[in-house]
Amino acid sequence: MEWYEIKIWFAETLSLDRDALHIYGALLIQILTAIIVRRPLSSPLPWIAALIVALLNEYLDLQHAGPQQWSIDLYRAASLHDMRNTMILPTVLLLVARYWPNLLTGRTDDQPLVEEKD
């Protein structure tokens, strides 16, 4: 089975449209990368991993474009759409984790990291 067929199979099996599959896939890659390399989500490394996989996916999709220029242009437009959808949430997660981590932890700035004992 080729990559494109695998993606279609995933979309049909999970009852997701392709846009949702891109979004969930990117978030999954970002989170799994953070776990595997033991880096926080505030690190750019998990985001970069999601970006690399998204770019590779779009490159593989572009291989299905025919030799006609209109077909290539159509695939490029679809790729831009996919990249935008794929990377929006990982980018938001990176920015929130990096610049507003309290939104993820529920801590306020005046709360100590460890409870102090009297």
Tens-place pLDDT, residues 92-117:
999 999 999 998 887 776 666 566 56
Predicted model pTM: 0.80
What is the 3-state secondary structure of the chain? CCHHHHHHHHHHHCCCCHHHHHHHHHHHHHHHHHHHHCCCCCCHHHHHHHHHHHHHHHHHHHCCCCCCHHHHHHHHHHHHHHHHHHHHHHHHHHHHHHHCCHHHHCCCCCCCCCCCCC
Residue 39 lies in a domain: yes
Expressed as residue numbers, the domain containing 46 is 3-98
Residue 75 lies in a domain: yes
Residue 68 lies in a domain: yes
Residue 115 lies in a domain: no
Residue 55 lies in a domain: yes
Residue 49 lies in a domain: yes
Q: How many domains does the chain have?
A: 1
Q: What is the pLDDT of residues 48-70, one digit of tens each?
A: 999 999 999 988 888 777 777 76
